[in-house]
A and B are shown apart, each in its own frame.
Chain A
Amino acid sequence: MAKKSVRKMNYLERMSHSLPSKIFHAIVMFSIVLSLIAVAFGFYLYYHASIKDNSKLAKNVANTTHIVVSEENLFRYIEDVQWIYDSTEENVRKTLSDEYLSLYKHLDTIEFENTKRILHDLQRRNGVDAVYIGIYDKKLERLIYVIDSENGENHRQPGYWESVSASESREYLDRSLDVPYKIENSKRNGYTLRSWDIVSEKDNYLVLTYADVSMAPIIEQGRKFLVQYLLMLLLVTVIMAVVIANHMKKVVINPIQKINDATRAYIADRENPEMALEDHFKNLDIHTGDEIESLALIIADMEREIKKYVANLTKVTSEKEKISTELNVASQIQEGVLPNVFPAFPGRNDFDIYATMNPAKEVGGDFYDYFLIDDDHLALVIADVSGKGIPAALFMMACKLMISNVATLGIEDPSIILNKVNEAICKNNPAEMFVTVWLGIMNLKTGLLKAANAGHEYPCIASKDGKFTMVKDKHGLVIGGMEGLNYKTYELQLKEGDGLFVYTDGVTEATNANDELFGNDRLLEALNKDSKANVTQMLDNVKMAIDTFVQDAPQFDDITMLGFRYLGSNGEMSNMEELTIEATIDNIPTVTEFVDKKLEEHNCPLKTQTQIDIVIDELFSNIANYAYDPETGPATVRVEVDESEPMAVYITFIDGGKPYDPLKQEDPDTTLSAEERSVGGLGIFLVKKTMDDITYEYKDGKNILRIKKHMQG
């Protein structure tokens, strides 16, 4: 991290010094281009001025030539030369040999020399390089020299000719040219400007006076001019560049550098919280009066805003942290109210229980609960509060306490408990929250489970063949939904080793990445993977199946599960006694005597004993009258006393007759008048009313009816 920022700083450092050199380079480049254009243009102007001057000079000299030479002499020379040239064979003329040139020898008189001298004088005085008179042969495109001002090696003798192209000769005749001239690279004088004037025209011949000006001095002078011009421009350019660069540095770069430095200091101080309060941009001292000053002011404003924002953010964050801490505490309190020490009842070996809750958020609305109402009755609760977070948690606490409070009052009917809880909650539920509850009360002596369902998921029971199935129990409305509801209790007979699994919708509605639900089938599959597993393993199997199914998808809802396994009542009670006898009315006193003897041994109150005697009369007479009708058969009466407090007696009637569940008989309407009353069902009704518990089971071809009565005065 540190290394990276150092490297970054070096990079910034390099960048921050590139602007002056960039500007300097740009100015120099710009100046060079400008200079080159200026030089090219300057040269062009100079050159043309020189050509114009020199061509005018040459023309004037050419014009003057035939004036300074006496006309008489001039025409004689021209005629002579023309005559000699015409009268000579072309193949001789062509050679330009000394022999040919000697044909013109006689022209070289004193007069001719004088004329030549005059021309030379003209040449010298006017500063041109050559003045001469010639005849132009239109047919053969030749200029034949008549007289030439030059001396020495460049001298052209009369009769000497050179080729002149037709294009040049056309210009001889073009009278429109103000100053006729031609620049050519002549053998005689090198790069030369030539001007002319026509003296006369006859047949195939033109007579012209010429003046040549050598271009060499013009070019030489131009070169000098260019060098000086260029040097001067470069000097001015460099001085300008330095001045502009300096100015830019003062007006633009230095202020930017200041902002740059302040920003860097600001970043460094941000990383060090102690320095974070310093102002970096407030006193930058930038007074350029342009966009840069405006930029500095805007940045200063921005810094102030950021500082304000950071201060606010710090405050909000600390408040948020406080709330988060409180939420954690709430979560701990909530976890604390769910019983979570296992084994939950180390002293008991007649059942096994285990429960877990995995909240989706920090505070959830699911809960489970279990507690012993008395030695024989275990309450099992699983519930799911609507909504999430703190409101759900508060509501959950209220519901949990209410259910356990009502249940521990000694009410053993789940529907009545739910009715009361519903009334209490509906009375004061401004937030209109509700809770689904499954409440079961397990009779640990008999294995009878009484349960009621207020809109909660179906419970799973491991049935006789050991496989878990869903009990499609009758659902009431959710608790808190409506006042005055009557929930229905239903009963399930659990046998030794039977399991029970209840859960919240977080289990069946666990969702994987493809938005598929875990569902009931997968739940049953997980439970039946090892349907005989102990409760801890049972819940682990389900959790594992959910985790495998869901994989990395987020958990939306609390996952709460409660597993229960009934291990049977504490074996047969040691004091159990049994009587098997033929089921006849006559044998009722024998049975009564057998039971009474046992009750007397345990000092049973007389009233209780009387009630039990009536029950024996009712139940045994039923067996005698109906079980084997019209035959008779054996019946077994088993009596056992649970000596733990509160003391209770259990009497079991077993017969092998027709299957008949007396508990299914409807209770008689005790409010009817004598005329309307029938006598049916009174016996079993009496039993239900006077005994504390009664269960029926048909097992292995036998009707098994078991009653329980507390033996208290």
Chain B
Amino acid sequence: MEVKVDQKDNLVTLIVEGRVDTTTAPDLEKSIQDNCKEDTNLVLDFTAVEYISSAALRVLLSTTKRLKEKGSMVIKNPNDVVMEIFEVTGFLDILTIER
């Protein structure tokens, strides 16, 4: 997994590539923590994400909770596999997704 960061004032875009699984999820979590404050408007570009596991869901859930008050989190262009995972786990109702 690789993460590219694009920061403009309060708007932080993280371009994620590859697999977000047990091994790589901690890296994504670290990268989010490094680049985001409580009022950050975070965009996670998932266009190049192959798949995610429950470890990634855990990261997404905790980030959503953290940014909910003052900032926001948007997931952009997840593929079918990732969408299906969001669907079966009920995350579609929790996350803001743009396709």
Binding site for B on A (CB under 8 A): 585-586, 588-589, 607, 610-611, 613-614, 617-618, 620-621, 624, 668-675, 677, 679, 682-683, 685-686, 689-690
Contact = CB atoms under 8 A, between A and B. Distances in A.
A585 B54 contact: no
Contacts of B90: 668-672, 677
Given A617-B21, A621-B22, A690 B88 contact: yes
A674 B88 contact: no
Interface in B40-92: 50-55, 57-58, 61-62, 64-65, 68, 80-81, 84-85, 88-91
Contact of B65 (A613, A675, A683): A675
B5 interface: no
Given A671-B93, A686-B88, A585 B61 contact: no
A669 B90 CA distance: 8
Given A679-B58, A689-B88, A690-B88, A610 B23 contact: no
A621 B19 CA distance: 15
B89 A589 contact: no
Contact of B89 (A620, A675, A682): A682
Contact of B61 (A588, A610, A674): A674
A587 to B, nearest CB: 10
Interface residues of B, number: 27
B68 A613 contact: no
Contact of B23 (A589, A618, A671): A589
A586 B23 contact: yes
A588 B85 CA distance: 20
B49 to A, nearest CB: 11
Interface of B: 19, 21-23, 50-55, 57-58, 61-62, 64-65, 68, 80-81, 84-85, 88-91, 93-94
B94 A677 contact: yes
A161 B3 CA distance: 191
Given A614-B53, A674-B65, A686 B19 contact: no
Contacts of B81: 607, 610-611, 614
A585 B88 contact: no
A677 B64 CA distance: 11
Interface-centre pick from A586, A677, A682, A683 (highest chain B CB count, 10 A): A682
Given A621-B22, A674-B61, A610 B51 contact: yes
Given A617-B23, A685-B88, 14 more contacts: A610-B81, A611-B51, A614-B21, A618-B54, A670-B90, A671-B93, A673-B93, A673-B94, A674-B94, A677-B94, A679-B61, A682-B57, A685-B54, A690-B88
A148 to B, nearest CB: 170
A618 B64 contact: no
